[in-house]
Amino acid sequence: MNSTNPNNWKGLPLAEVDTPSLLLDADALQANIDRMAAFFVNRPSGLRPHFKSHKCTKIVRLQMQAGAVGITCAKLGEAEVLADAGIREILIANQIVGHVKIARLIQLAKRAAPIVAVDSEENARMLSAAASAANVEIRALVEVDIGLNRCGVKSGAPALALTRLIASLPGIKFEGLQGYEGHLVDLPDEAERAEKTRAALKPLVETRRLIESSGIPVNIVTGGSTGTYTFTGDFPGVDEVQAGSYAAMDWYYFDIRPEFRQAMSILTTVISRPAPDIAIVDVGRKGVGAEFGPPRVKDLPGASIARFGSEEHASISLPKDCNMSVGDHLELIPSHGCTTSNLYREFIVHRHGVVEDVWPIEGSGQMR
């Protein structure tokens, strides 16, 4: 291989791909998308996958084709990328605050149908004033804190009060509620995760009933994750699940949800063999999302990460009698797929060890 342009790698074996590169197993990806979509067949809730996990509009199209009701994202910049790709039904699961961002949201509303989260009177009035002046309508969800202690108003009366305000304002339409059980999604014991997730969702759905009894329709109640989709997706009164990591997977979620396959990995090259049981590869903290721990070595039983503190290197402990040589490739599985995909500009999509395509990660770096 004599090209550094990934688009010229199509048809090459992975052994000829430059490194580090972010790989995506096409068969595993499709199996994951199909499995999650199948769960929601004949259920009252729908799947609104989270874009922040993979940030790739090619994957979004596969998710929409499989029956997703829309797409969730974390940032306004991600929503703009989705709109550029022709996606209209976009939930920005965050507060859009400040005149610069609200002006961008108004422009987005002219070519898509965004929904935003709101948890304060000040933000609701900002959105109302800007939308009214531009003669557009912004759909809004009241975010309810169900135990994460991040954004969100309290359930019950405080949520009802904010709902009534939004319903009274021009330019902004109350669409429903958002509540995210993010503090529970990685509990290792499934029974405990199920019990605590259902307990967290109870006040969210009770708030829905309170709002509906006041005469205000609630069209959407949304939340959930890959770790809790089987509980959130079956909970009466919840309409949408925002699972995201299931598509590409990382090892942290795989330990919790082994029914999904690990489609994402990082291809690396062994650049040094300083000891018989050690290999140094050409990726470090700059190239692997490792918030939940160092990466794991793929398809090499007995190998593990010996040291992962450098920016550009990782030290691999090899099994006895391993004949790994300088120049050989190793794949690593990150602990956090969301932050890993944010570090790369493309997925090298492969099938049976051969590069099939190169997909842009258009949402990479979209922090605003």
Q: What is the pLDDT of residue 154?
A: 98
Its pTM stands at 0.97
Q: Where exactly are the structural domains of the chain?
A: 6-24+259-360, 26-244
**Residues 110, 107: Cα–Cα separation, whole Å:** 5
* Average pLDDT, rounded, for the chain: 97
Distances (CA, A) of 60 to 50, 85, 104, 110: 9, 9, 22, 21
Q: What is the pLDDT of residue 3?
A: 78
How confident is the model over 357-362, as a mean pLDDT? 98
**Residues 249, 333: Cα–Cα separation, whole Å:** 9
Helices 99-109 and 76-84, packing angle to 10 deg: 20
How confident is the model over 238-243, as a mean pLDDT? 98
Q: Which two tokens stand for residue 120?
A: 């304060």
Residue 192 — pLDDT band, cuts 50, 70, 90?
Answer: very high
Note the pLDDT tens digit of each residue in 24-40: 999 999 999 999 999 99
Note the pLDDT tens digit of each residue in 104-150: 999 999 999 999 999 999 999 999 999 999 999 999 999 999 999 99
Burial of 177 (0-12, 13-18, 19+ CB in 10 A): buried
Q: Is the pLDDT of residue 1 over 80?
A: no
Integer distance in angstroms from the first to the last C-alpha of the chain?
37
How confident is the model over 258-273, as a mean pLDDT? 98
Instruction: Give the residue among 296, 295, 289, 266 at the shortest CA–CA distance from 336.
Output: 289
Q: What is the pLDDT of residue 252?
A: 98
Q: Is the pLDDT of residue 333 over 60?
A: yes
Q: Is the pLDDT of residue 204 over 50?
A: yes
DSSP state of 161: H
Q: What is the pLDDT of residue 342?
A: 98
Are the beta carbons of 28 and 262 closer than 8 angstroms? yes
CATH superfamily of domain region 26-244:
Alanine racemase (3.20.20.10)
CATH class of 6-24+259-360: mainly beta
Percent of the chain having pLDDT more than 70?
99
174 residue type, one letter = F
